[in-house]
Amino acid sequence: MPQLSNGLTAMEEDFIHIPESASYPTGSLDFLVKLQKDEEKRQKAMRASSLVNGEDLSRLKLNIIIVGAGLGGLAAAIALSRRGHKVTVFEQAPELGEVGAGIQIPSNSTRLLIKWGLEPFLAGKIVKPGNIAFRRWEDGKTIGLTKLIPQFEREFDAPYYVVHRAHFHDAMYQLALQLGIEIRINSKVLDYDEDAPSITLENGGSHSADLIVASDGLKSYARTKVLGGVDQAPRRTGFAAYRATVDVEKMKAYPDTAEVCAKPNLNLWVGDMRHVMTYMIAGGKSFNMVLSHPDRSDPSTWSSQTPERILSGMRDHFKGWDPTLTKIIGMIDTTLKWPLMSGSPLLRWVSASSKLLIMGDAAHAMVPYMSQGAAMAVEDGAALAEAIHQVEDISGLPRALRVWEAVRKDRADKMQEASLINGKLWHFADGPLQQARDEAMRPEVEGREFVTSPNQWSDPTTQRWTYGYDAEWEVKKAFAGKTFSPVNGH
């Protein structure tokens, strides 16, 4: 039989190729993926026992600059450093930290963070909520219910955490230091040369590297560079969020508010154009609240409003809501008002030179309604380290970045959309749509079987895609594919 250039015989070429994995949503191949992952773990353990350094070091070792020491920048720094790259992080702020109080760390993110060794740094700080309850705006009645414990740990092999942002950020910082990552504060990047590649700092210094990873947030300057000079900035959504915390001790003074904080659950009150997401942080000492509401005014005018005016505006928005909720809102002493922005899918995340890329909010800012913004940045970092790990030398870097970009854009662009859709599902005014939604969520409240739900945390298909996603595995799968089409025409 004559051999063809692709190694197949003429006869074999007549037959259709049966794919190794499915690109449509299905659980039918899960058993195979589990076997493959178990085998990979076994081989890794064997390799680790014969190595001094048990880490899976990459063959290609790069000198990498990361711009931005937010949660995204630190996650990428940790993921890349663990693979043996030399990482330096440049942060413009004079001090490291985070704005706002609480953050949810969903299972698709904790799976990676635990693997990286973050847990000891979070000891005593995290809260593990038992469930997420959707509550009716008017009376707090439970209208939807997602069970996190034990379901999420069992189904997705990783816990669901809520934590104070400062504690999360500090844990990442401590781990980064332990890994030997250099973090330079007071180092604002003024310009990028994406061909060198290099950065120029405000203080006049210039630094070059093999690769520059810009995790410089929503107002990213690097995004313009990657997009060839024309920015596509995130846009306002017409919604804003008040962010606040209440001391749990205060809530214990009344039976109804004490009941809300008796168990570490997430509670989400939903109503006409508004919702209030709550959960406990700081090891259970503080009650975190995000109050989303319509606001089309110019955010630059908000700084001139007095704290009293902002507080009273917040109370007005939720007047007439569940008396337990409004009692808790009444306990808020100070609040921050935050515009909710969303990006839309970008043409590319990697520069034409393949030496500068954007990630995190810079690449995929999203409304916080799926609680996945930072989780996407953690996945970006893990996927980037895995993509570089797949190539042997510097000549393979452009391909590694193309695969990374395609895999991550597909995931994050869809999460951006899922986040906006939550705003649609949650914000119905009382009426036929709200009634149909609540009726469709009833089985999960009553503990009956269901195959779909308007609650995206519970809906089996969305849940599986959101929390069962393994960022490193997806990159490996993309590399194993026979062909690969770049998304951005490099």
Ligand X SMILES: Cc1cc2nc3c(=O)[nH]c(=O)nc-3n(C[C@H](O)[C@H](O)[C@H](O)COP(=O)(O)OP(=O)(O)OC[C@H]3O[C@@H](n4cnc5c(N)ncnc54)[C@H](O)[C@@H]3O)c2cc1C
Residue 150 makes CB contacts below 8 A (sequence gap 6+) with none
- CB nearer to ligand X: pick between 93 and 233: 93
User: Looking at 194, 295, 322, 361, which residue binds ligand X (CB under 6 A)?
Assistant: 361
- Residue by residue, DSSP assigns 53-93 as S-S---SS--EEEEE--SHHHHHHHHHHHHTT-EEEEE--S
User: Looking at 69, 77, 291, 311, which residue binds ligand X (CB under 6 A)?
Assistant: 69
User: Looking at 58, 60, 72, 389, which residue binds ligand X (CB under 6 A)?
Assistant: 72
User: Looking at 136, 164, 225, 243, which residue binds ligand X (CB under 6 A)?
Assistant: 243
Q: How many residues bind ligand X (CB under 6 A)?
A: 34
68 near ligand X, judged by CB under 6 A: yes
Strand duo 189-193 + 63-67: pairing = unpaired
**What 3-state class would DSSP assign to 341?**
strand
Q: Please report how close the Cβ of residue 54 comes to ligand X at its closest, in angstroms.
A: 28
- CB nearer to ligand X: pick between 21 and 208: 208
Q: Please report how close the Cβ of residue 27 comes to ligand X at its closest, in angstroms.
A: 25
Least Cα distance to 222 among 409, 66, 414 occurs for 66
**Dihedral sign from CA coordinates of 461, 462, 463, 469:** positive
User: Looking at 245, 288, 351, 371, which residue binds ligand X (CB under 6 A)?
Assistant: 371
Exposed / middle / buried, residue 399 (Cβ in 10 Å: 0-12, 13-18, 19+): middle
User: Looking at 80, 91, 244, 412, which residue binds ligand X (CB under 6 A)?
Assistant: 91
Q: Please report how close the Cβ of residue 103 comes to ligand X at its closest, in angstroms.
A: 4
Q: Please report how close the Cβ of residue 88 comes to ligand X at its closest, in angstroms.
A: 12
Residues between 280 and 319 with contacts to ligand X, criterion CB under 6 A: 290
Q: What is the 3-state secondary structure (H, E, C) of 204-243?
A: CCEEECCEEEECCCCCCCHHHHHCCCCCCCCEEEEEEEEE
Distance (Å, whole) CA 337 – CA 53: 47
- Report residue 269: phi and psi, to 5°: -85, 130
Q: Please report how close the Cβ of residue 382 comes to ligand X at its closest, in angstroms.
A: 14
Per-residue mark of binding to ligand X, 324-343 (x: CB under 6 A):
--------------x-----
- CB nearer to ligand X: pick between 342 and 453: 342
Residues between 384 and 423 with contacts to ligand X, criterion CB under 6 A: none
Number of H helices and E strands in the chain, helices first, is 18, 17
User: Looking at 268, 350, 375, 412, which residue binds ligand X (CB under 6 A)?
Assistant: 375
Q: What is the separation, in whole angstroms, between the first and last Cα of the chain?
A: 38
Q: Please report how close the Cβ of residue 486 comes to ligand X at its closest, in angstroms.
A: 24
103 near ligand X, judged by CB under 6 A: yes
Beta-ladder partners of 271:
274
The three-point CA angle 22-23-27 to 5° equals 55
**What 3-state class would DSSP assign to 10?**
helix
Q: Which residues are near ligand X by CB under 6 A?
A: 67-73, 90-93, 100, 103-104, 188-189, 215-218, 221, 241, 243, 290, 338, 360-361, 368, 371-375, 377
